[in-house]
Amino acid sequence: MNFEVLLADRLAPAFEAVAGAPVDPAVRVSQHADLQSGAALAMARQLGRAPRAIAAEVAAKADLDGLASITLSGPGFLNLTIADDVITAALDGLDDRLGVPPVSTPDRVVIDYSGPNAAKEMHVGHLRSTIIGDALARIFAFAGHDVIRVNHLGDWGTQFGMLIEHLADLGGVGGSYTLGDLTDFYRQARVKFDNDDDFRARSRLRVVTLQSGEPESRALWQRLITQSHRAFLDVYGRLGVTLAAGDFVGESFYQDQLGSVVDELTASGLLVESEGALCAFPPGFTGRDGDPLPLIVRKSDGGFGYAATDLAALRHRTRVLGANRLLYVVGAPQQTHFRMVYAVARAAGWLPDGVTAEHVGFGSVLGPDGKMLRTRTGETIKLTDLLDEASARASSAAIGIGAIKYADLAGDRRSDYVFDWDRMLSSTGDTGPYLQYAYARIRSLFAKATLSPGPIMLTAPAERDLALKVLAFEPALQAAIDAREPHRLAVYLHGLAVAFSAFYEQCPILRAEPPLQASRLALADRTSRTLASGLTLLGIALPKAM
């Protein structure tokens, strides 16, 4: 139930009548009442009147239809108190969508997330993109948008020359050699590449044969890719991430579209030759020296890189997939890359009016020393090792992995955060286990209850607080969508669990008289349903008991 919007709609005509023009009633949650509007203060100067007089006139004119009562406060605030019967009716009628109507005009939104690199093990750097992207995909889909998940895998490029050549050395296409640990495999290939001239020369040739589609090279490449996909799907399964094999669209997919990317950009006059390379220079991007920054579309050796592939992928997403909204959940260091890609795509007509592309950036995961999280010996941490440790440290995988995911989602995504096992696994505080515990506690309450939930009545302040918290799910979800910030939902859920704790302490449930007991059970039921939906939207599992 979005009381902010409902009451703003109700107040708007009164404000307009007083101001003689449309006014944003600015209804917000407040500490002083359920909701508050400070719009009269903002209008005062323009109207040349005292804000309190304006507020009084608005209050007299407003027709709130029994939704809430108004009082004047301070220099001209309108304090709004929602009627108890409105609250109880909303809670009694709460449906599976928790009062959130599906969007009236759904966007077709491509969410590009995770994007690990093939033939390399996923590391902790891919963790945030995977977790944040998956939460956004779930949230947008719940709201009623048409979500297309895309896992833009790094499965193409010159490094595959050395990887394939190494695989060929180990027994080739039909060989019985199992790739095993892909990180080790990559490292071995790298060492040979750096130290063995012959291997290096063969690797370079491999790039050429692979790109020309020569069958043996292609088959070796396919072996590496298949193995990588399996490893990624395994991690997604453990993480409870909704990316499926059908969502994997690697860089290789766009290779035969790169020529036409160049052609179209050339026809639009967007490419300039610079030191043998074909570059776009979108206006407004300069390097440290003040020189225009190039987006390299075709390298001087004729090859294509990351930027060209992203241009092709963008064009494909708007033109072929018909998306009107693109979200790229990728770390902050790639911000300039994406801004330049969007600028060039916009100039090329691949992002027409009404179609948006947005980089949903995020900060780094830091170790206890405040530097990028690494192993004790300074190496990048493998995601599988991290997940193993989470399951070992917690009483179950659901709790360990829920703790990691919640810690990643609970803060503003743009900020870095310190990875701290003890903190994230604590059953108190702003943690995943705390929320999972709140949910499990309600489940166990229902296991003991003999009565069924009944009509809700509000007899104590803690009941009313909890009731309003439950009904605030919709604005929290809306805020998460509007700002592409899953933490809005996480913060809300934590507040809900805290409100439930206060209610649980102050309001006896199973010892209450039958009608009150049924009412309190109903409040607990609405709370658990909201916690369950909210945690599921964040991709956090719900342990039945803890």
Contact set with ligand ARG (CB under 6 A):
112, 115, 117, 152, 154, 310, 313, 328, 330
Judged by beta carbon, residue 123 or residue 526, the one nearer ligand ARG is 123
Q: State how far the Cα of 451 lies from the Cα of 440, in Å rounded to an integer.
A: 19
Q: How far apart are CA 40 and CA 45, in angstroms?
A: 10
The residue among 330 and 404 lying less far from ligand ARG, judged by its C-beta, is: 330
Cα dihedral 349→352→355→360 (10° resolution): 30
Residues in a beta bridge with 317? none
Given a contact cutoff of 8 angstroms between Cβ atoms, the answer to whether 133 and 329 are in contact is yes
Helical (H) or strand (E) element with 485:
none
Q: Least CB distance from residue 120 to ligand ARG, whole Å?
A: 9
Least Å from the CB of residue 80 to ligand ARG:
45
Q: Which is nearer to ligand ARG, 68 or 341 (CB)?
A: 341
Spatial CA neighbour of 238 closest among 539, 543, 546, 545: 539
CB of 393 to ligand ARG, least distance (A): 27
Radius of gyration of the chain (CA): 28
| Distance of closest approach, residue 245 Cβ to ligand ARG, in angstroms | 17
Give 135's Cβ-side CA count (13 Å radius): 30
Which residue lies nearer to ligand ARG by CB, 98 or 341?
341
Give the CA angle between residues 362, 405, 132 to the nearest 5°: 35
Rounded CA separation 380/369 (Å): 15
Q: Which of 141, 211, 210, 221 is nearest to 179 (CA)?
A: 221
In the complex with ligand ARG, which residue's Cβ is closer, 335 or 452? 335
Residue placing its CB nearer to ligand ARG in the complex, 310 or 408: 310
Say what angle helices 182-195 and 159-169 make with each other, to 10 degrees.
Answer: 100
Spatial CA neighbour of 437 closest among 373, 501, 385: 501
User: Across the strands, what pairs with 365?
Assistant: 417
Nearest to ligand ARG of 316, 494 (CB atom): 316
- The residues that bridge with 326 in the sheet, in sequence order, are 110, 357
Decide whether 160 or 500 has the Cβ nearer to ligand ARG: 160
Number of residues written out for the chain? 546
Output 350 or 503, the one with its CB closest to ligand ARG: 350
Minimum CB separation of residue 111 from ligand ARG in Å reads: 11
> With respect to ligand ARG, which residue has the nearer C-beta, 154 or 282?
154
Provide, rounded to whole angstroms, the least separation between the CB of residue 288 and ligand ARG.
Answer: 22
Minimum distance, C-beta of residue 341 to ligand ARG, in the bound complex (Å): 8
Residue 301: CB minimum distance to ligand ARG, A: 21
**DSSP conformational letter for 442:** H
Please give the sequence-ordered ranges of beta strands (E in DSSP) within 96-145, or none if there are none.
108-112
- Compute the least distance from the CB of residue 337 to ligand ARG, in Å: 8
Q: Are 46 and 99 in contact (CB under 8 A)?
A: no
DSSP-based three-state secondary structure for 393: helix
330 vs 351 by CB, closer to ligand ARG: 330
Q: Is the dihedral of CA 8, 13, 14, 18 positive or negative?
A: positive
- Return the number of other C-beta atoms located less than 10 Å from residue 21's C-beta: 10
Closer of 313 and 476 to ligand ARG (Cβ): 313
The nearest distance, CB 329 to ligand ARG, in angstroms, is 8
> Are the CB atoms for 77 and 55 separated by under 8 Å?
yes
CB of 45 to ligand ARG, least distance (A): 48
CB 362 within 8 A of CB 413: yes
Which residue number places its CB atom closest to ligand ARG? 115
Only one residue has tokens 């909890």, namely 466
Least gap, CB of 241 to ligand ARG (angstroms):
15
